[in-house]
Amino acid sequence: MTDLTKMKIAEARDLMKAGELSSRELTEAHIAAVDAADSLNAYIVKTPEIALANADAADKKIKAGNQKGMTGIPVGIKDLFATKGVHTQACSHILDGFKPEYESTVTQNLWNDGAVMLGKLNMDEFAMGSSNETSYYGPVKNPWRATGSNNDFVPGGSSGGSVASVSGYAAMGATASDTGGSIRQPASFTGTFGMKPTYGRCSRYGMVAFASSLDQAGTITRDVRDGAIMLEAMAGFDPKDSTSVDIAVPNFEAALTGDIRGMKIGIPQEYHLAGMPGEIEALWHQGIEWMKAAGAEVVDINLPHTKYALPAYYIIAPAEASSNLARYDGVKYGLRDAPNGGNLDDMYYTTRASGFGDEVKRRIMIGTYVLSAGYYDAYYLKAQKVRQLIADDFKRAFEKVDAILTPTAPSAAFAFGEKSDDPLAMYLNDVFTVPASLAGLPGSSVPAGLSADGLPLGLQVLANAWDEETVLKISGVIEQAAAFSATPSEWWR
Ligand code: GLN
């Protein structure tokens, strides 16, 4: 019998439509797979009862002829999306015991379609990190190992649980969020397809806020078609989020025509970093050749302010985080750590001291510093101006090209502890993803090859705002050309 946990969303959808598969069967297989993947630490909460109830409802919906794209499909939900009555802590201790009274719009959209919830997924605390090592619930292990080695690697971050569940055959798709690269970089590290839509395409209502002007929901799936199907279900205007935009959601799957003849693909010269591993350059070059072979025109472009993107991001994101995280004070929700005989201030101090991890504290300190009187103009305001220049770079580029192709990350997955003592080395992971985040643009990471050690590597596709269809179309062509068929060894099962 075929292993149902290795099926793609599109295949399962079509089989369910034809009456050859039930969501119940599919869901039972996935509940078992979630248990079998315990050693990855991808799930921090499992919801098998909810999953089975969802599955039965989905089977009824399908029988009644009301099947939609995600009906009956088992998915994992990043712990940053509010799920009514179910653990939602953005993997922080400070939200200890928090079970929201409401559902995030993105997850509600999935449930309205009939999707099945397997549980909540591990992540870096408040989505701050690139390796999933900052989670209060411990690190997630990458299902992939280097050829001939039993050493564990990080899955990337912050959506480490999302990518490990999908590449570890413990979910058919997963929600994720991207503030500076948290969908694309972990997708690159795990041979999965990561899709971050335009800022404003998915509602942020009910997403635990990290940096509100950057946070955007998206998808992790096994291939491009599945990403198109899942994103279509999640996206859409929401009056409850003032930054969500009232633009019709296209049929994303229909964009996968495979035809990119005559399209112009830009290659930003500033992304050729000094000291970048040769295999990353080689993969990029391979991607360029695939574009040409598919009939696209490849042109060199310039994004001159690229080198200021990381510094600007690591001012703006912490600034917004310091403001957003001020709400966690032990009064309204989550952890309350009040010392005996202490006053209100003491409670604030001890709650925040014991509730936040080191990386979150670092961001809060940076954020309050760059927003403080006397430094605001020099840091925060300056970074905002640089952000505009970066957005203008892209604007000019998209007058000439339809899309931009780059590597997703400057390396393959790395070992635990390799970068966690050196924040700057960790922040460098985001060098290729952060500029598009600052500009609010849609982007993907497509599995495109393997490192010399046998670990997955991704290519990043970027397009103009609201042009997810171009991102998906080009991603589909890369997927076809790369014919990426490597799989992890399943040591965890
Ligand atoms: N790694 C980046 C950071 O730590 C991006 C995280 C994200 O996109 N959520 O801020």
Distances (CA, A) of 314 to 57, 179, 320, 431: 44, 11, 10, 11
Which atom of ligand 1 is least distant from the CA of 427? Answer: 1
Which of 92, 104, 182, 437 is catalytic? The answer is 182
CA atoms within 13 A on the CB side of 29: 20
Q: What is the pLDDT of residue 173?
A: 98
Any domain includes 43: yes
Predicted confidence (pLDDT) per residue in 246-261, tens digit: 999 999 999 999 999 9
- How far does the centroid of ligand 1 lie from the alpha carbon of residue 292, in Å? 33
Closest C-alpha to ligand 1, atom 5: 180
Nearest-angstrom CA–CA distance, 288 and 301: 13
129 lines ligand 1 (CB under 6 A): yes
- How far does the centroid of ligand 1 lie from the alpha carbon of residue 158, in Å? 6
Any domain includes 444: no
Predicted confidence (pLDDT) per residue in 153-166, tens digit: 999 999 999 999 99
Any domain includes 382: no
Q: What is the pLDDT of residue 248?
A: 97
Residue range of the domain that includes 134: 4-262+478-482
Q: What is the CATH number of the domain that holds 126?
A: 3.90.1300.10
Any domain includes 390: no
Burial 268-288 (b: 16+ CB within 10 A, else e): bebbebeebbebbeebbebbb
Judge whether residue 2 has pLDDT over 90: no
Find the helix or strand (DSSP H, E) in which 196 lies: strand 193-196
Predicted confidence (pLDDT) per residue in 59-102, tens digit: 999 999 999 999 999 999 999 999 999 999 999 999 999 999 99
Any domain includes 177: yes
Any domain includes 301: no
Any domain includes 351: no
Nearest-angstrom CA–CA distance, 411 and 189: 9
Residues ≥6 apart with Cβ < 8 Å to 173: 9, 70, 73, 75, 76, 166, 219, 220, 221, 222, 226, 227, 230
Predicted confidence (pLDDT) per residue in 404-461, tens digit: 999 999 999 999 999 999 998 899 999 999 999 999 999 999 999 999 999 999 999 9
Asked if residue 245 lies in contact with residue 200, where contact means CB atoms within 8 angstroms, the answer is: yes
Any domain includes 395: no
236 lines ligand 1 (CB under 6 A): no
Strand order in the sheet with 43-46: 43-46, 116-121, 74-78, 173-178, 216-221, 193-196, 443-450, 456-463, 403-407, 264-268, 297-301
177 is a catalytic site residue: no
382 is a catalytic site residue: no
Structurally, the chain folds into a number of domains equal to 1
- How far does the centroid of ligand 1 lie from the alpha carbon of residue 75, in Å? 22
Q: What is the pLDDT of residue 333?
A: 84
Which atom of ligand 1 is least distant from the CA of 177? Answer: 9
Cis preceding linkage at 158, omega within 30 = yes
**Ligand 1 test: best mutation among 124, 135, 315, most atoms within 8 Å of CB?**
124
Predicted confidence (pLDDT) per residue in 175-228, tens digit: 999 999 999 999 999 999 999 999 999 999 999 999 999 999 999 999 999 999
What integer is the mean pLDDT of 452-477? 98
182 lines ligand 1 (CB under 6 A): yes
Q: What is the pLDDT of residue 1?
A: 53
What integer is the mean pLDDT of 21-28? 98
